[in-house]
Amino acid sequence: MQIRRLVFVVVMLLLGGIAVTSARAADEPAAGTWKVNVAKSKYNPGPAPQSNTTTIKIENDTETYDSDIVDASGATSHSSFTTKLDGTDSPVTGNPYGDTISVKRSSPTHYTATIKKGGAVTMTVHIVVAADGKSRTATYHGVNSKGQKEHDVIFYDKQ
C-alpha cells in the first residue's frame, strides 16, 4: 500500500512539473526555434538570404538569442546575444548592424529591439508574434553596414 501511495505522489509531481513547464512556454510565445519564410519576407534593398534559423530562450525576463544565416551568396554567419527585456544595452556578436542591442518587451507578443554601433542607433526592429504562436514578423528600419536605408519585413515560422 505504501508503494502505491509513493508511486501516486511521484506521478502527480511529474504531471505538475509538466503543467508548470507548459504554462511557462505558453507565457513566452516568442521563445522557440524560428525559420525565416523567405517567400513571405521582403528585403529592401536585398538580397534575401538563402536561410535563417533563430533560436530564442526567455527566462527570468532575459532573452538569449542565436541565429544562423546562409546569405544569398552561400556564406554562413552566426549572431548571438543575451539581454534583459527592459531596454538595457547588451553586447551582440556577429550582427552586421551594430555591436550592442537592447530589447524591450511591451507584451508577451510585442518587442522592440534597438541596435547600435559605436553608441549610435543603426536599426530599430519591431517584433510581433502571431496570436496563434506559429509565426512572427520582424520589421527592420534603419541603415545597413553599407550606409543604405533598409526596410525589411521578415516572416518566421515556428519549428
- CB under 8 Å to 158, separation ≥6 — which residues? 32, 33, 34, 133, 134, 135, 136
Q: Residue 116 forms beta bridges with which residues?
A: 100, 121
Domain count, the chain: 1
Q: CA nearest 48: which of 79, 78, 70?
A: 70
| E strand or H helix that includes residue 11 | helix 2-27
Q: What is the pLDDT of residues 123-153, one digit of tens each?
A: 999 999 999 999 999 999 999 989 999 999 9
Residue 21 lies in a domain: no
Could you tell me if residue 1 is inside a domain? no
21 sits in which H/E element: helix 2-27
Q: How far apart are the first and last CA of the chain?
A: 45
pTM above 0.75, yes or no: yes
Residue 157 phi/psi, 5° resolution? -110, 140
pLDDT for 27 equals 84
113 is a domain residue: yes
The CA distance from 29 to 134, in Å, is: 9
Whichever domain contains 46, its CATH number is 2.40.128.20
